[in-house]
Amino acid sequence: MQVFNSMTRRKEEFKPIHEGKVGIYACGPTVYNYFHIGNARPFITFDVLRRQLEREGYDVTFVQNFTDIDDKMIRRANEEGITVKELADHFIEEYYVDAKALGIRPATVHPRATEHIPQIIELVQKLIDNGHAYVGKTGDVYYRVSAFPGYGKLSGQAVEDREVGASERLDVETDKENPADFVLWKAQKPGEPAWESPWGMGRPGWHIECSAMSMTYLGDTFDIHCGGKDLLFPHHENEIAQSEGATGKPYVHYWMHNGFINVDNQKMSKSLGNFFTVRDISKEFDLEAVRMFMLSAHYRSPINFSRDQIAQANASLQRLYTARDQVLFLLKNAEDKPMSDEENALLVRLKEHEKHFDDAMDDDLNTADAIGAIFEEVKDLNSSLNANSSREVLQKALASFKGMTDVLGIVQKNPEGDDSLPEEIRAMAQERAQARKEKNWKRSDELRDAIKAAGYIIEDTAQGQKIRKNL
């Protein structure tokens, strides 16, 4: 597999540190609200990365954190009149609801920052002991950027280019030695949650949390660190400085960052009124169509979110469901018989489609081309399979199709049998079948339209009517 490494700014062959095993850390959400459509892109992208590595036989440890203490959380909790923990517990639970609807698998570990305070304190103390950090007059602890010569190597941004205040979200400058220094530990302010530390009561800074959690579960050096492009600086830059400053070892071998999302060709922002949470979007669209949309472009490219784009993605997704359901439909009555020469030839072509898929995925996770490979296979299946196809070739065709769609996390809904249809839909379908038998085409069309208006699609095949819910 080739991946684009943000550190070297080029594609590189992926070579794991430990043969057969991969450690990945993905930056997760700050849980003060539902996560937004921009957050969804890295969650989906790197879920797919994990799935493809597993398809290739790797044992993947995938760590995605929850930031459950920071300025935004404290402010929101105060506004709601609840504790920060109550706020975090609520929105972590809601994260899992939206993530499941987007087809995002739970991580191997979902660490919370507040559950790793001892590890954070230990890491800060190491940095103080070796001169990479210092305690300010008010009890804040800062990272001394001048002590780390490699600072800026990920982002390409020199220390002198940093603006005062860029080091921490919503942070107010206090008694830093240098404006570029950033906070590791914040002294407690009145009414804030705090933990005991060698420097007094306080709480961790944003950047140190990820360093401590990633190294707790993946070691001092691990394979892949990923996240949105917006985190490249200062967050990931600061993680490198902290981690390597404490251990003296390389922190991460491969850095992967996804591109931005625009909404209707404008940058997403609350001031423009085009800021959407995934929960907002779920009221209009099936979130599987949102996943399909995200994967229809290369993860490093910027993409434009619009309702038309989601509708197009949904239409493509329905074509894939139609293809899968047709194979399942044929399997119901398929015979156990030897495969024909034509069917053996189809199996050879299925391997070619799978190779096209894997080649695309191994080319820096080119999901757009991988989807193209799936549609090539669908076209082949539609023209090659019929009521006379053997059970064996149908089963192998389904396995090939499912192997690829499972990596992308699409076409995951189970087919609905006749027993799952509402009684009124079944009744209209039966009446329509009778109308067609009597060649009453006007009534047949009326019933087809009524079924469609009720949210179902009816299709006529050589084996009879097929009905499925419109996605």
Predicted local distance difference test score (pLDDT) of residue 194: 97
Q: Tell me, yes or no, whether 301 lies in a domain.
A: no
Q: Look at residue 354 and tell me whether its pLDDT is greater than 70.
A: yes
Residue at 51 is within a domain: yes
The set of long-range contacts for 385-388, using a CB threshold of 8 Å and a minimum separation of 24, is 385/326, 385/327, 385/330, 385/346, 386/330, 386/462, 387/330, 387/333, 387/462, 387/463
Asked if residue 33 belongs to a domain, the reply is: yes
Q: Where does a domain end: 367, 388, 408?
A: 408
- Please report whether residue 233 resides in a domain: yes
The mean pLDDT value for 88-105 works out to 98
- Centre a 10 Å sphere on the Cβ of residue 331 and count the other Cβ atoms it contains: 15
C-alpha dist (Å) from residue 74 to 92, 159, 174, 270: 16, 30, 20, 20
Angle, CA 213 vertex, CA 208 and CA 217 arms, to 5°: 150
- What is the residue whose two structure tokens read 């597999």? 1
The mean of the pLDDT values for the chain is 93
Distance CA 74, CA 80 (A): 10
If asked whether residues 13 and 136 sit together in one domain, one would say: yes
Residue 457: both structure tokens together = 């699609």
Let me know if residue 72 belongs to a domain: yes
- Residues 336 and 440 reside in one and the same domain: no
Residue 266, pLDDT above cutoff 70 = yes
Q: What is the pLDDT of residue 175?
A: 85
Residues 402, 435: one domain? no
- What's 395's domain CATH number? 1.20.120
Q: Which residues contact 89 (CB under 8 A, 6 or more apart)?
A: none
Give the mean pLDDT of 327-341: 95
As a whole number, mean pLDDT of residues 9-34 equals: 98
**368 and 444 share a domain?**
no
How confident is residue 272, by pLDDT bands cut at 50, 70 and 90?
Answer: confident
Last residue of a domain, one of 384, 408, 432: 408
**pLDDT the model gives residue 164:** 40
pLDDT score of 468 more than 80 = no
Domain residues for 337? 316-408
pTM of the predicted model as reported, rounded to 2 decimal places: 0.88
The number of distinct structural domains making up the chain is 3
Residue 264 inside a domain? The answer is no
Q: Specify the pLDDT at position 165.
A: 39
User: pLDDT band at residue 224, thresholds of 50, 70 and 90?
Assistant: very high
Same domain for 90 and 161? yes
Does residue 156 carry a pLDDT above 60? yes
pLDDT of residue 366: 98
pLDDT of residue 166: 42
Q: Are 237 and 162 found together in one domain?
A: yes
Residue 425 and residue 401 share a domain: no
What pLDDT, on the 0 to 100 scale, is given for residue 466?
A: 76
Q: How confident is the model over 329-355, as a mean pLDDT? A: 96
How do residues 160-215 score in pLDDT, each as one tens digit?
Answer: 655 443 444 434 556 899 999 999 999 999 999 999 999 999 999 999 999 999 99
Single residue among 363, 387, 408 that ends a domain in this structure = 408
| Among 429, 299, 426, 414, residue whose Cα is nearest residue 366 | 299
> Is residue 362 predicted with pLDDT exceeding 70?
yes
Say yes or no: 396 and 427 in one domain: no
pLDDT value of residue 20: 98
Is 458 in the same domain as 342? no
Is the torsion defined by CA of 210, 213, 219, 223 positive or negative? Answer: negative
**297 domain-assigned:** no
Judgement on whether residues 223 and 367 belong to the same structural domain of the protein = no
Does residue 308 fall inside a structural domain? no
DSSP-assigned letters across all residues of 305-318: E-HHHHHHHHHHHH
Q: DSSP string of 226-273?
A: EEEGGGIIIIIHHHHHHHHHHHSS--EEEEEEEPPEEETTEE--TTTT
280-297 per-position pLDDT tens digit: 999 999 999 999 999 999
Q: Among candidates 226, 233, 258, 247, which has minimal Cα distance to 153?
A: 233
Same domain, 197 and 59: yes
Contact at 8 Å (CB) between 75 and 28? Answer: no
In CATH, what number is assigned to the domain containing residue 98? 3.40.50.620
Residues 444 and 342 in one domain: no
